[in-house]
Structure 1
Amino acid sequence: MDWATTINLGGFGDAAEMEWQTVKSWESFTDFFEGAIHVDAVTYCESPELLLDLFEKEEAKLETMDVLVGNREEYQSSVDDATIARQLERHYREDSLIVRLKNRKVVHSKLYRIVKPDEEVVLIAGSANLSYNSWKNQTNSVVVFNTSVGSQLDERFLEWIEDHRDSYANEIFMENLAEELEQLDDEEEKERRIELWIDNRDTQLSEQGEIHSSIGEELDDLGDKVDKVVGVSDDVDEADEVVTVEHVEAEETDREETVSAEDGSSGETPEGVTAAKTPEYSITLPTQGFETDGYLDQMETDLKRRGADVGADAITTPVEGYTNYLETRYDVPKMWVDTEAGRVHLQHGEHHRILTAEEEADPAVLDAALANIEEYVETVDKWGETNNPQAVMAHMYEAILYGLWAPFVNLYACQFYGDVTLDNALQYLYVFGESDAGKDKFTEFLLRLISDDFVRGGADADNVGKNQIRSLRNIDTVFPYVVSDISKQKIERVDTLRNFWQDSWNPADEVSYPSIIFTSNDSRPNDWFRNRSKMLHFDVAFPSNPEDEGFYKAQEDLNEILDEPNPIFSYVSRRILQEEMYMDAGGTVEDVRRVFRDFYDRAGRKEPDYFPVEPANRKYNIGKRKWRQASKRGDVSFERREDHLIAEFDLEPHELYSYRKTLPTKMRPEKSGRNIIVKNPDDFAEWLDIDELTDGESSDSETGFLSRLFG
C-alpha cells in the first residue's frame, strides 16, 4: 500500500514528500541508502563491519558516514580480523567514517539523514536498526521525508541528530588506535599494535602493566559493590544489590578474631573508616593473546598456590590470593582512588576498607586524632636524646604530612603533566638519621595511619633494584612504597629513580604509580637524588638497647601510641577529594599542611610550636645549621671574587664534601682543595638567612664582615 503524500509543514517553508512505510527486510531498508553520498545516523548497530559493507556495496557512491551507536559502549570486541581493523582505521584517518559511542544510558532513537546527489536528502525516523540480526524476525515502521539539503526541515532534523551527539556521545571509535599508529614508522610494529588492539589489550602498556591494570578495573567494581552494601543498608532486603561482601561493624571490639594472624593487626576500626570483608569475591583474568613464558605464566604459577583456578582462556583467583601475591612479591598492598565517588579504597587480603569518611569529623574526634600524632612526635622530647628537639619534631611531623599526601600523587601528576618535570615536582621522601633514630617506628606509625592498621612494614632494602622499581610502574597501586635502611650507594646505583615518572607515566594509560619513601642511616646521596627528594633529618637517638636507661618504658609508651586507632587519613582524604585540591597544581604536601591547620582550628586545639607551618626541611635545614656552626667556630671564611663566593675552610679537604653536598644545586657549588666555590652567592645568602644570622648568632666582627660581604 502506498502511504506517500505531499505535505507542507507549518514553519518549514517548502513542501516535503512524506511517506509512512512498513519495512519487512534488511534489503528493503537498505534501499533507502541506494546512491547515498553521505549518511548521518543515530541507531543500533552491532558491528562496525556492517558500516564498511555500506561503503563497499556494488555501485556504492557513499563517501562519508557519521554514526552514533546507541546500544554499544565499546566496539573493539566486535572486531576480530586485522583486515577489518585496518579498513576502519583508514576510514577514520581519512575522515570518511566517524563512529560515536554512547557515554551513558542506552540511546534508543533511530534517526537517519541520507544525502544523495543533486542536493536530495532523505530523513527517516522510526524503529529500524542498522543491524543484520534485528531483521530476522522483525517488521519495522518508519516515517520518511524527502526534501532538499539545507531546507528548514533538513536543518532542524540535523540539529536533532547533533543534539543526540552532544548529549550522549563523547568517544570516537578508532581514535586512540589511529593516533598511536600515526606515531609509528615501523610497519611490523604497526601490525603488532593492531593485533594487540584486536585482542582488546592495551597497546601502550607492558604485559605486566596490562595485567595489573585489568585486575584494577575488577577491583574498582568490587569497591562500588562494597560501597553500595555498606553505605546503604545492612539489610539484604533493603540493599541496592546483593553481593558477596560482609559488613564489619565499625564499633566492633573483637577485630582480632576477624583478622588473621598474618595481618598482624589488632584493635578496632576507627570512626570514619568503612570496613567490609570479601571472602567469596574472585577476579577473572583473560589469558588469550599473552606471550608464552611471559609475565603472566610466572604470575599464574604463584596464583595457583594461592587457590587460583587456571582454565584454557582465563585465570580465576580469589581476591585474597591476588592481594597476597601483590604484597608478597612487591611489598605493597592494593590501594586505589575513586575520584568519581571521592573515596580511597584498600584491599588487604579479604579485608576491604573505604578509607574516606562519609561525614565531616566531630571536633572531639579530630582532637583525639591530632593528640595521638602529637604524642608520637613528642616521644622525641620524652625519650630521645637530641640537641635540636624542635627541629627533629618538625621534621617528624613533616614526614607524617608527606605520608598522608602520598596516596594522591597520581592526581597531582595529572595536573603537572606536560607543564613541569614530574620527577622534580613529585618528590621522594628521604628520612635519614642514626640507627637508633626511630625510623622504623616512624614507618610503622605512618603505614598504620593510612591502612586502618593493616600494614606495618615496607620493603627490605636488599630486595630493591632496577627491576623492582620498574615493576612499581606496572602494578597499579597508590599505596606508598616504603624502603627501610637503604644505603645511599644503593640509591645511586638504581638509575631508574632518576626518571621514575618522566620517562613513562602518562595519564592516558590509567596505571597508578606509588610514591616512594626511603629511610637511611646515610645523610646525603648524590645531587640528582637530592633534587628529587624531600630530605628530612631525624637527628635524635632513642633507647635502643635493653641496657639503656628507660628502654622498656619507652617501648611500652610508644607501642601504646601506635596501637591507638586514628582515623585522620579518612578525614584528610575526604577534604582533598571533595575539594579537589589537586586541581590547583600549585602544591603537593602543602595541601595536607593546610588541611591540618584547619583541623586544629576546628578541633579548638592549639598547634604545637613544632608544627611545620612551612616545610620543615626549609625552616630547619641541617645543611644550613652545619654551615652556620662552621662559621661560628671559625672553620670557614668567605671572600667575594667577582660573581663568585669563595668559602675557604680550615679543615682537611675530605671533610669539605659533606659541606658541598648540603648546598642546593642551584648554587652550583664546586670543591677545589680546601675551598668551596659558590657560583650563585646571592642564593647562598638567601638560603643561609644572612640577615637572621647577623642578628645574633655571630660575633660582632663577623656580623660586620658578613653584612659587608652580602650587603
Structure 2
Amino acid sequence: MEWATTINLGGFGNAAEMEWETVKSWDSFTEFFEGAVHIDAVTYCESPELLLDLFEQHDGKLESMDVLVGNREEYQSSVDDVTVARQLQRYYREDKLIVRLKNRKVVHSKLYRIVKDGDEVTLISGSANLSYNSWKNQTNSVVVFRTEVDSQLDQQFKTWIDDHREQYADTVFMEDLVAELEALDDQEEKDRRIELWIDNRDTQLTERGEIHSNVGQELEELGQEVDRVVGVTDDPEAADEVVTIQHEEVGVEIDDESNGSMEADDNEQSSTGVTGAKTPEYTITLPTQGFETDGYLDRVKTDLKRRGADVGSDAITTSVEGYTNYLQTRYDVPKMWVDEENCRVHLQHGEHHRILTADHEPSPEVLNAALQNIQDYIETIDRWGETNNARAVKAHMYEGILYGLWAPFVNLYARQFYGNVTLDNALQYLYIFGESDAGKDKFSEFVLRLISDDLVRGGADADDVGKNQIRALRDLDTVFPYVVSDIAKQKIERVDTLRNFWQDSWHPSNDISYPTLIFTSNDSRPNDWFRNRAKMLHFDVAFPSNPEDEGFYEAQEDLNEILDATNPIFAYVSRRILEDEMYLDAGGTVDDVRRIFLDFYDRLDRERPKYFPERPANRRYNIGKRKWRQAFHRDDVTFERRENHLIADFDLEPHELYSYRKTLPTKMRPEKSGRNIIVKNPDDFEEWLEMDDLRADDEEASGGLLQRLFR
C-alpha cells in the first residue's frame, strides 16, 4: 500500500510531500537515489565496495556521499583488492566519499538525505539498510519526505544527521592511510603501504614494531583477565567459570619493632593492592601471513621455536613465558604497559603477571615503611660512603629514584608535549656518573626492583648497546625503562639514534610505546647534544668495594637487607599519576612524582630529610656550579666584562679548562680561548652561579665579592 499527501509539518514552513512506503527489494529502495548528486546517510552498510557501486550505477551524476556506518567499527578487513583500496583512497582525497565509523555502541538509526538537481531533496527515515544482504529475506518500511534544499524540514533533518555524527562517530575511514600516502613521494613505497593496509597490518610501523605491538594487544587482554578474577576455588563445579590464571599472594608484613621495615610474606594477603598472578597456560598467537620471508619474523620464529613455540603455516603460537623470556634475553627489557582507562600499570615477566597499581590508598604504616626503606637506602652514604658533599650526593640519589618511578609514564607525557615542544628535550634520559665504586649498579637494582615488584633486578650490558639496539627499543611496545650499566661516554656519543630518539618517529597515533633510557657511567660529561637531552646526576661517593676494605662485609649485609625489603611505593605513585591524570598538565615530568612524595610526607606528618630534593637536585646541587665556585674561592679564576661578554681568566693550564667549559649549560654559549673561557650570556651565568647565595656565604659579601668577580 502506498500513501501520499501534501502537508505542512508543525510549523516547518515550506510544504512537504510525505509518503509511507513498504519497500520489498534492493532495486525498489535504490529508486529513491535516482538523480542524486549528493547523499548523506546514517545506516548499516556491509562494505565500502557497495558505496563505490552506487557511484557507478548513477553514471557519474552522483558527486559525493557522506555515510555514517552504524554497525561496524572497522572496514579495513572488508577490503581485499588493491584496485578497490586505491579507488577508495582516491575518492576520499577528492572529497567524493566520506565514511564515518561508529565509536562505541551500535547506531541502529537509518536516515538518508538525498539531494537532487533543482534543489530538490528527499529525506528518508525507516528500517532500510544500505546492504545487499539485508534485502534477501527482509521487508522494510520507510517514511519519505520530499521538500526543497535548506527548507526548515531539510535543515532539521540535517541537524539530526549531524548530531549522530558528533555523538557516535569520530573516525573517518581511509583518513590515516591517505595522510600517510600523501607524505610519500615514492610510488613503489605507496603501493607497498596499500598492500600492508589490505592485509590489516599497521603501515606506519616496522615489521618488528608491528609484531611486538600485536603481542602487546594480546597481553592487554590477558591483563584484563587478571584484573577481573576476584575469587579462586578448587572445585570447578562451584566456580562461575574456569580460568587458567593462577593468582599469586603478594603481601607485606609490617614489623612495628623494626622502625616500619617491611618483609615479604607469601602467606599474608596483600596490604599493598598489588595483584600478582601466574599465567603458565596462557598463549599468544602471532599471524605470519603477509610478512616478508627472511625478515624479522623469521628470526623471531627460530628463537621462539627453541623455546617450545608451535610454528604453523600461517601463525606462531607460543606461551607468554616463552615470548617474554625472548624479549628479556634479546632486548634486556620486560613487557610493561599502562592501562590508562582502568588506571593500571601491568608487567608481564616470564609467567608472572603483576598489576602494579594499588587499588586503594596506602595505610600510614605501609606508606611510612616505604619511605623509610628509601631513606635507609640513601643513608648508606652516611654509614658506609666516603664523600666530601654527602647532602648533595643523597639529593642526587633521591632525584634518581624519583626519575625511576616516573619513567613508565613517559608516553603519557609525550602525548601532551607532542606538537608543542621538542620531545627529545622534554623527555630527558637519566645519566648517572661516578667512580666505579660509587654504587651505581646497586642503585639501578634498587630502582628496577621498586617498579617491578621485585621481579626485575638488572638491565643491559653496555657492550650490547649500539644504534641497532637503541633503534629496536622503539619497536618493542614496552614502557619499562631501558637501563644500561657502565657505558663509556664515547659510545653514547657514537649512537646518533639518541639525538632524535622521540622526535623522528614517535607519534600519538602509532599506538606503540617507547621506553625511556637510564645510563650509568664512570665518565662525567658526554657531548653537549647529549647533555641537552639528559638529567645529569653525580654520585660523588665511594663505597667499600673490595673485601680488604674496612666495613666491606657489614656494608654488603646492610645494603642487601634494604634491597630485599618489599617496598610498594610505585603502587601508590602510579595510582596518583593515573587517577589524578597528572600528565595532562604537560607542565612537568619528574616534578609530578616530587609533588606526590611531598604530599606523602605531609600526610604522614613525617619530617622530610634535609637532602630531599624539593627542586631538581641536578640544579640545586650542580657539580659544575660547585666546580666553578671552588675555583673562584681558590683564586684560580677572575672575571672581566668586555662589551656583552664575560671573560673567565683561569690561572690553570689550558687543557684543564675543558672540564670547566663542559660544565656550563649550553645556553651560556661558552667558548675556550687559551686560558680563557668566554661566556656570551653573562646574565644567565650570574643567575646559574646563584650570586645571591655566594654573597650570603662569602665573608666578603659586603662588596668585595662583586669587585673581585666583575673587575
Is the shorter-chain TM-score for this pair beyond 0.5, marking a shared fold? yes
- CA deviations on 1:151-186 (whole Å, 9 max, x unpaired) are 433333332222221211111111111112222233
Structure 1 CA distance for aligned equivalents of residues 25 and 309 of structure 2:
49
Aligned position for 1:260: none
Inter-CA distance 384–66: structure 2 relative to 1 (3 Å threshold): same
Alignment partner of 1:175 is 2:169: no
Kept in 2, the 8 Å contact 1:113–1:122? The answer is yes
Aligned position for 1:661: 662
Inter-CA distance 490–266: structure 2 relative to 1 (3 Å threshold): farther
TM-score of the aligned structures, taking structure 2 as reference length:
0.93
Structure 1 CA distance for aligned equivalents of residues 392 and 252 of structure 2:
39
Structure 2 CA distance for aligned equivalents of residues 586 and 206 of structure 1:
32
SS in 2 for 1:694: helix
Structure 2 CA distance for aligned equivalents of residues 136 and 318 of structure 1:
45
Aligned position for 1:478: 479
5+ residue gaps, structure 2, are 254-262
Structure 1 residue 17 displacement after superposition: 3.7
Structure 2 CA distance for aligned equivalents of residues 272 and 341 of structure 1:
14
Aligned position for 2:433: 432
Structure 2 CA distance for aligned equivalents of residues 400 and 536 of structure 1:
11
| 1:24-103 → structure 2 map (5 Å cutoff) | 24-57=24-57, 59=59, 61-103=61-103
- CA deviations on 1:522-560 (whole Å, 9 max, x unpaired) are 111111111111111111111111122211111111111
Aligned position for 2:300: 299
Structure 1 CA distance for aligned equivalents of residues 501 and 51 of structure 2:
44
| 1:430-509 → structure 2 map (5 Å cutoff) | 430-509=431-510
Structure 2 CA distance for aligned equivalents of residues 640 and 442 of structure 1:
43
Aligned position for 2:550: 549
Aligned position for 1:630: 631
Root-mean-square deviation (Å): 2.3
Kept in 1, the 8 Å contact 2:432–2:536? The answer is yes
Kept in 2, the 8 Å contact 1:270–1:565? The answer is no
Structure 1 CA distance for aligned equivalents of residues 313 and 142 of structure 2:
47
Structure 1 CA distance for aligned equivalents of residues 10 and 704 of structure 2:
93
Aligned position for 2:572: 571
| 1:596-615 → structure 2 map (5 Å cutoff) | 596-615=597-616
Structure 2 CA distance for aligned equivalents of residues 69 and 465 of structure 1:
48
Aligned position for 1:283: 284
Kept in 1, the 8 Å contact 2:625–2:688? The answer is yes
Structure 1 CA distance for aligned equivalents of residues 276 and 651 of structure 2:
62
Inter-CA distance 685–519: structure 2 relative to 1 (3 Å threshold): same
Structure 1 residue 239 displacement after superposition: 9.1
Inter-CA distance 99–449: structure 2 relative to 1 (3 Å threshold): same
Amino acid at match of 1:394: A
- CA deviations on 1:242-264 (whole Å, 9 max, x unpaired) are 653222233489xxxxxxxxxxx
Aligned position for 1:361: 362
SS in 2 for 1:613: coil
Structure 1 residue 364 displacement after superposition: 2.1
Amino acid at match of 2:77: S
| 1:157-196 → structure 2 map (5 Å cutoff) | 157-196=157-196
Structure 1 CA distance for aligned equivalents of residues 112 and 522 of structure 2:
72
Structure 2 CA distance for aligned equivalents of residues 168 and 238 of structure 1:
41
| 1:253-332 → structure 2 map (5 Å cutoff) | 268=266, 271-332=272-333
Aligned position for 2:222: 222
Inter-CA distance 53–239: structure 2 relative to 1 (3 Å threshold): farther
The size of the alignment, in residue pairs, is 697
5+ residue gaps, structure 1, are 254-264
Structure 2 CA distance for aligned equivalents of residues 619 and 60 of structure 1:
71
Inter-CA distance 581–58: structure 2 relative to 1 (3 Å threshold): closer
Structure 1 residue 234 displacement after superposition: 4.6
Structure 1 CA distance for aligned equivalents of residues 240 and 224 of structure 2:
11
Amino acid at match of 1:150: D
Aligned position for 1:639: 640
Q: Using the TM superposition, name which of 391-400 and 275-284 deviates more.
A: 275-284
Aligned position for 1:262: none
Inter-CA distance 90–309: structure 2 relative to 1 (3 Å threshold): same
Kept in 1, the 8 Å contact 2:252–2:272? The answer is no
Inter-CA distance 705–147: structure 2 relative to 1 (3 Å threshold): closer
Kept in 1, the 8 Å contact 2:384–2:555? The answer is yes
Kept in 1, the 8 Å contact 2:639–2:710? The answer is no
Kept in 1, the 8 Å contact 2:640–2:710? The answer is no
SS in 2 for 1:457: coil
TM-score of the aligned structures, taking structure 1 as reference length:
0.93
Inter-CA distance 561–462: structure 2 relative to 1 (3 Å threshold): same
Inter-CA distance 266–323: structure 2 relative to 1 (3 Å threshold): farther
Alignment partner of 1:618 is 2:626: no
Amino acid at match of 2:227: D
SS in 1 for 2:696: coil
Kept in 2, the 8 Å contact 1:228–1:239? The answer is no
Amino acid at match of 2:278: K
Structure 1 CA distance for aligned equivalents of residues 173 and 338 of structure 2:
27
Amino acid at match of 1:290: F
Kept in 1, the 8 Å contact 2:398–2:613? The answer is yes
Q: Using the TM superposition, name which of 559-568 and 626-635 deviates more.
A: 626-635
Structure 1 CA distance for aligned equivalents of residues 686 and 574 of structure 2:
39
